[in-house]
Amino acid sequence: MNNHMIAQKLLAHARLLQGGANLYRIRAYRHAAMIIDGLERSVAEMLAQRGRSSLASMPGIGDHLAASIESLVKTGEVAPGSARRPECALS
């Protein structure tokens, strides 16, 4: 899977999250898509050489997004649970 395809899947996932996820998470997926699409180096190559930390260390991509991107590269899908709606806190 090339970087452009990863970026497109991240954008699709952001659209899926619009049904109730935290706005910041949606923005994070969109921002990550922009970053990935602009990389000169292949994400698959980065993961093969240095693992998930190669992505998590990039500005704008933390551990959660790195795991989602790694899942995309390995399985073609975003990691299960990343579309999970946050539970409401009761006070």
For 36, counting Cβ atoms within 10 Å of its Cβ (0-12 exposed, 13-18 middle, 19+ buried), the class is buried
Per the CB < 8 A criterion, the answer to whether 77 and 16 are in contact is: no
User: Which pLDDT band, with edges at 50, 70 and 90, does 11 fall under?
Assistant: very high
Distance, CA of 29 to CA of 9 (rounded, Å): 10
Percent of the chain with pLDDT over 70: 85
Tell me which residue range forms the domain holding 58.
Answer: 3-75
Considering its fold, how many domains does the chain have in total? 1
81 falls within a domain: no
68 falls within a domain: yes
Query: What is the domain-level CATH number for residue 34?
Result: 1.10.150.110
pLDDT tens column, 15-57: 988 877 688 989 999 999 999 999 999 999 999 999 999 999 9
Per the CB < 8 A criterion, the answer to whether 29 and 17 are in contact is: yes
82 falls within a domain: no
